[in-house]
A and B are shown apart, each in its own frame.
Chain A
């Protein structure tokens, strides 16, 4: 399987989208080019505010601007939006339900920057924050079309964004739709829910599983809070052999937990396997290396399906090797982080 690779899908789409929206301002904390808003700054210098490496203050400024009718779009790495300034995010932005857009890059284990740069529990933390909306981009099309969705929400929105070289999995004419899963395949054996970069990873294995006669009902999830899409409940009811979730996040509190809650509340007694970071911190290494080490890859999906079906499917790791590998030294990123 190979996809079109789009270079910096956030950069130009955001410039275009913000053109006739004078209320849209960008706040940045010294990661401007790393977050693909350097060109935005040069295009709209009067609407760009460098806040320096001071995220607690940046969240407060954002709250103040939003109270006065501006729409601040904060750009930095995920960890610096929710981990360091969580109290400010809660009291200056989330409690007053202000329309602040938190565009976070490097969700999960996408960076060799190590534990300080890896946002592995952001969804868990922010799902627990009232008034928050949580969106996650899964491909270039979603990266290019998330702006209207975030803009339409009256409260704060946290976005797990993608940058650099991003695969286009979904057709350009099918934009990001709020709180609506994409149905990627239908079937009655296994219900599979994937989010973010794990959707592409899952898609390496799904055709091989289908060839082995396993029917997979596969949903791509891009809205993590609220988690009320009726398609999800329908899909969870459907599986005869169980449910699998796959997320670039700890298994505690993210997509897998949200699915478990829906299943329990609706009396769905299927087995559930949550593929994700197994309640551990990670370390600095390539995405591919960490996905293998932590069991976040297509092979993990195959073993989980085998476990639910109670049989081996004879799919070899080599069969899954055809997927692309993004170099950490890609020229689409300003530094190797």
Chain B
């Protein structure tokens, strides 16, 4: 399936919508994971709009109230996977690893018409499943991965099960680059390569930023492409804001597990964020003046 101009325009529209929704939320709540929205907007928009083959939802779903943690013998606890439609052998799955991107993922689900328009009003509210750090009951999540690097192993198990069953759908994993500092990530890359789980496709937001600042100063992980290739993976390194490149890399055929390293700019679409460099992990306004500057940018976006 070649990408058409209208497809690219639509993905651009969704990406802009993600940034606007996260900025609006950040302004209203004096805080938010803004740089993650700026870096991953095109990546998540391309995934949800084009690359993933998901089942439909019954319109824009209303997130459930939190109904309790999973208990042994307690029946099936609520799952955020319903926002990805029904599961089926031929359909794809998306396991999102960096659970602190939840705000961005919720915004993407709203843009896709899978989560109700007002869904972010329930963000981080007591008794809501629209949690700040997404867990498996939160919209768009089916695993609990706030302790980073655990998603790729769980996705490995899911992909192994699907391979044993003969499923044809892919198992996608959305990751952040900081997770490559965890040893578990490399254990998982090794195991997925060893067991030739070619149904796995990992897409990484390499925004080069983490909680303490630039990754190169906190703990360097580069050259990431060479390191991952050495584990037997088919690695594609692209500009994560280049939608045709995202489409091409995501759709590439391969007989190996594929990893798409999307190099991104954590201030893309919101250059004002650069003023806070190098601490970009979480945006909380330091003064009314700063807040007003962001308010002005937001109004410009909406004009």
Contact = CB atoms under 8 A, between A and B. Distances in A.
A11 interface: no
A97 B70 contact: yes
A153 B72 contact: yes
Interface stretch (A67-75, A111-119, A246-254): A67-75
Nearest to A27: B157
B195 A96 contact: no
Contact of A60 (B73, B136, B150, B190): B150
B188 A65 contact: no
A60 B71 contact: no
A18 to B, nearest CB: 15
B29 interface: no
A245 to B, nearest CB: 26
B97 to A, nearest CB: 11
A59 B187 CA distance: 11
Contact of A49 (B142, B147, B195): B195
Contact of A68 (B144, B158, B195): B158
Q: Which has the most chain A C-beta neighbours within 10 Å: B72, B146, B150, B183?
A: B72
Interface of B is mostly: helix
- The interface size bin for chain B is 35 or more
Contacts of A72: 157
B184 A57 contact: yes
B235 to A, nearest CB: 19
B155 interface: yes
B191 A96 contact: no
Nearest to B87: A68
Contacts of B252: none
Given A56-B183, A96-B70, A64 B157 contact: yes
A205 to B, nearest CB: 37
B147 A52 contact: no
B153 A97 contact: no
A60 B153 contact: yes
Nearest to A63: B154
A285 interface: no
Nearest to B167: A68
Nearest to B136: A96
A82 to B, nearest CB: 16
A319 interface: no
B70 A60 contact: no
Contact of A131 (B71, B143, B183): B71
Interface in A43-68: 49, 51-52, 54, 56-68
Contacts of B195: 49
B125 to A, nearest CB: 22
Given A54-B187, A61-B156, A64-B158, A95 B144 contact: yes
B142 to A, nearest CB: 8
Nearest to B159: A64
Contacts of A52: 187, 190-191, 194
Interface in A138-157: 153-155
B161 interface: yes
Nearest to B161: A68
Given A56-B183, A57-B188, A88-B150, A64 B160 contact: yes
Interface in B137-178: 142-147, 150, 152-162, 164-165
B302 interface: no
A125 interface: no
A59 B153 contact: yes
A61 B159 CA distance: 9
A92 interface: yes
Contact of B74 (A56, A62, A92, A97): A97
Contacts of A153: 72
A91 interface: yes
B70 A95 contact: yes
A95 B153 CA distance: 16
Interface of B: 69-74, 77, 136, 142-147, 150, 152-162, 164-165, 183-184, 187-188, 190-191, 194-195
| CB-based closest 5 A-B pairs | A64-B157, A60-B153, A155-B72, A68-B161, A57-B187
Given A60-B154, A97-B71, 20 more contacts: A49-B195, A52-B187, A54-B191, A56-B187, A57-B153, A57-B191, A60-B184, A60-B188, A61-B156, A61-B157, A64-B154, A67-B142, A68-B165, A72-B157, A92-B153, A95-B69, A95-B70, A96-B77, A97-B77, A155-B73
Interface of A: 49, 51-52, 54, 56-70, 72, 87-88, 91-92, 95-97, 130-131, 133, 153-155
